[in-house]
Structure 1
Amino acid sequence: MKKLLDSEPTIHPGSQIVDSFIGEWTEIGPNTKIEESYFGDYSYTSGDAEIIYSTIGKFCSIASHVRINPVNHPMWRVTQHHLTYRLTQYQLAEEDDQDFFNWRREHHVQIGHDVWIGHGAIIMPGVTIGTGAVIGAGSVVTKDVPAYTIAVGVPAKPIKKRFPDEIAEKLMEIAWWNWDRKLIEERYKDLNNVEEFIKKYL
């Protein structure tokens, strides 16, 4: 029987959270590492995921073996190896190369609300994925993906939209992902039919 979720994040004991915010009603699956990131309410990872320098919106569904922001190496240096920036690890200096790590942080990944990222997908540094988008399994996302767009492949390319633009715009206007817990409890049954949902709440 699965553990019931609640407002306290459910984090698998085999996972690691470092300098990150984890929202309410969230679930972090096994063998996941989240570092210097924001993880929005109701979002979850299935396991074996790695997320760094990223903002994850609410209600995101992240499948297993997903990598969000696999950080870059210094290709412009003589060597791309850790040696030139993880200086303390190699006992070369008393401080690491913070300028390099700050450069990595500048390539932040932004993921909107209600995004589904399929098994084994990779979201490259600096990418923005819009609310309601779908990233196909095994895709490598190197460019921004608009809201409510399905993108697949290596590199990932848009193949279709989840809804016509007018429906997507209305969903963005309603912004149901910002409802508080009380409203969700009252209205969750309305989340199944898009047309009826828009008529009722717009």
Structure 2
Amino acid sequence: MDIIDFNKPNSVKKVKVVKKIVTQVPTINKQQQNKEFYNKALEKIIQLLKENNPSLATQNNIQLEKPQIDRLGTKKTLWKNFDSICIQMNREAQHVSQYLLIEMGTEGSLADEKLIIKGRYTSTQIETLIKKYLQEYVLCSLCMSSATILIRDVESRLYSKECKNCKATKTVATLKISNKKQK
């Protein structure tokens, strides 16, 4: 007859599994591991950017003056600091004025570093158009830098903006000249 020992476990396999569960260190779930890895990789990329190309690592916001708008009679608007805003954007006054007049659907003229616009406009309306102009013709679409230049290809008559920081180029919309003469 076999002697039954109650102190001895019935199965050695069960004991090993229980020991594994008890001695096992609590693991971090996959999502936390991925997040930690992502954050470390992001910190490393930012560090390399700062070391190798500091102009790309820092975000430069373009600071423009607020447009100084006055009424010129009852049917015209005078933009006093137009030329200084064009200089801050690093764009030709002729190109900016042509864009604004097309967007407004009106006529106007440049006189003594000022823009005279036919119609009554507020500074908020003009600020909105400046923001659109910045997005389309000034800011780099990749690094959002304002350090860009506008180049016109003579053969194809297309404009392209080239970023000085990341060297990206993008073709931008050509301004459609209206049939009306600008005064």
**TM tier, smaller:** under 0.3
Determine which structure has the larger helix proportion and give its number. 2
TM-score by length of 1: 0.23
TM-score by length of 2: 0.25
Where relative contact order (Cα < 8 A, 6+ residues apart) is larger, the structure is: 2
Q: Which has the larger radius of gyration?
A: 2
